[in-house]
Amino acid sequence: MYSRIAGIGSYLPERVLTNAELETMVDTTDEWIRSRTGIERRHIANDDQTTTDLAEQAARRAMENAGVTPADIDFIVVGTTTPDVVFPNVGCLLQQRFDIHGCPAFSVETACSGFIYALSIADRYVVSGGAKCALVIGAETLSRMTDWNDRATCVIFGDGAGAVILQPADEPGIISCHLGADGRYHDLLYNPYGTSKQRKPGDTEGPYIQMRGNEVFKVAVKTLENLVDQTLAENHLDKHEIDWLVPHQANTRIIQATAKRLDMPMDKVVMTVREHGNTSAASVPLALDTAVRDGRIQRGDLLLLETFGGGFTWGSSLIRF
């Protein structure tokens, strides 16, 4: 038994924040942002929109695309670092929205790698017969933990959600998932506060994303190179067999480095960073949905998904779409 992606959907909040607007907020330029990151605009949730709101829209679109209804869903896993509340988790909040009750519902908190971690877990449940219609989501409202006075981070992140439906299949589907993490690098990309570790008077760091971008960049490039090599080697695949690279949308230059490693022309790499910015756990399913809906990715294509994020955490998935 294997699992396959039976449907996909995504959602971006309506509000668009352009580089030109950011020029009026912090000491930056459109030219700097575009040349260093590739980003031109990003979507930002309205004040009354939460991660669950974004996830719900993406999930409804994925269910519609798969031809299933909420009543068919028997497993929900959400990759997110920006849940609405500490608990109930976003999966449980979605059960309420869809009026479905009883199936397992939980979230995984691995920053930008959340979707691929979630996909890997759901794949194992479907393959082992533990789920027949799994809803897998990556959803974030990173704008809520962005310091809008910090030019080193606020130009990078955006909000959004992407979702897939996984169902059993006789042929793969999800061919393999490869996950990894290394907590040694915890201080290069983090949010210093949570529920157990709270902000105290006199603390200098705000409750926002802190990133030593240049150092993150170097580890990201190296780790992703190793990750794609590992994914190809473990599947006895030649790099030229991959039809599409669907990378985490953190930075055009990081994506180009991975594409170079795979010897892939950039027209075989799905790039949404220009329009979406870095949406963390939502970025890979958002990119995948974009290329499926515009007709670039076709059924039967061989896809390599990869991601890297805070922790550090990373993951890849090889998929016959």
Active-site residues, by number, are: 112, 248, 278
CA 311 to chain centre: 15
Near ligand UT7 in 220-259, by CB under 6 A = 220, 250-251, 254
CA angle, corner 307, sides to 141 and 145, nearest 5?
Answer: 25
- Does residue 180 belong to the site contacting ligand UT7 (CB under 6 A)? no
Q: Which stretch binds ligand UT7 (CB under 6 A): 1-9, 31-39, 79-87, 200-208?
A: 31-39
Q: Indicate the SS3 state at residue 10.
A: strand
Give the Å distances, CA to CA, from 310 to 75, 187, 216: 26, 9, 9
Q: Which stretch binds ligand UT7 (CB under 6 A): 40-48, 74-82, 151-159, 226-234?
A: 151-159
- Does residue 192 belong to the site contacting ligand UT7 (CB under 6 A)? no
Which of 308, 313, 315, 321 is the binder for ligand UT7 (CB under 6 A)? 308
DSSP 299: T
Q: How far is the CB of 220 from ligand UT7 (least distance, A)?
A: 4
Which residue shows structure tokens 């997110």?
80
- Does residue 112 belong to the site contacting ligand UT7 (CB under 6 A)? yes
Comparing CA positions, the residue from 160, 139, 166, 159 lying closest to residue 62 is: 166
Is it true that the peptide bond before 88 is cis, omega within 30 degrees of 0? Answer: yes
Which of 36, 60, 144, 274 is the binder for ligand UT7 (CB under 6 A)? 36
- Does residue 117 belong to the site contacting ligand UT7 (CB under 6 A)? no
Instruction: Look up residue 160 and give its amino acid.
Output: G
- Does residue 151 belong to the site contacting ligand UT7 (CB under 6 A)? yes
Q: How far is the CB of 189 from ligand UT7 (least distance, A)?
A: 6
Q: How far is the CB of 12 from ligand UT7 (least distance, A)?
A: 17
Which of 16, 40, 213, 275 is the binder for ligand UT7 (CB under 6 A)? 213
Which of 177, 216, 262, 270 is the binder for ligand UT7 (CB under 6 A)? 216
Bridge partners of residue 18, in order along the sequence: 41
- Does residue 198 belong to the site contacting ligand UT7 (CB under 6 A)? no
Q: Indicate the SS3 state at residue 239.
A: helix
DSSP for 157-214, written as a single string: B-EEEEEEEEEEESS-SEEEEEEEE-GGGGGGEE----SSS---TT--S-SS-EE-HH
302-309 and 244-247 as β-strands: parallel, antiparallel, unpaired? Answer: parallel
Instruction: Look up residue 62 and give its amino acid.
Output: A
What phi and psi, each to the nearest 5 degrees, are found at residue 150? -105, 105
- Does residue 309 belong to the site contacting ligand UT7 (CB under 6 A)? yes
Q: How many residues bind ligand UT7 (CB under 6 A)?
A: 19
Nearer to ligand UT7, 28 or 235 (CB): 28
Comparing CA positions, the residue from 32, 55, 120 lying closest to residue 282 is: 55
Residues that bind ligand UT7 (CB under 6 A): 28, 32, 36-37, 112, 151-152, 155, 213-214, 216-217, 220, 250-251, 254, 278, 308-309
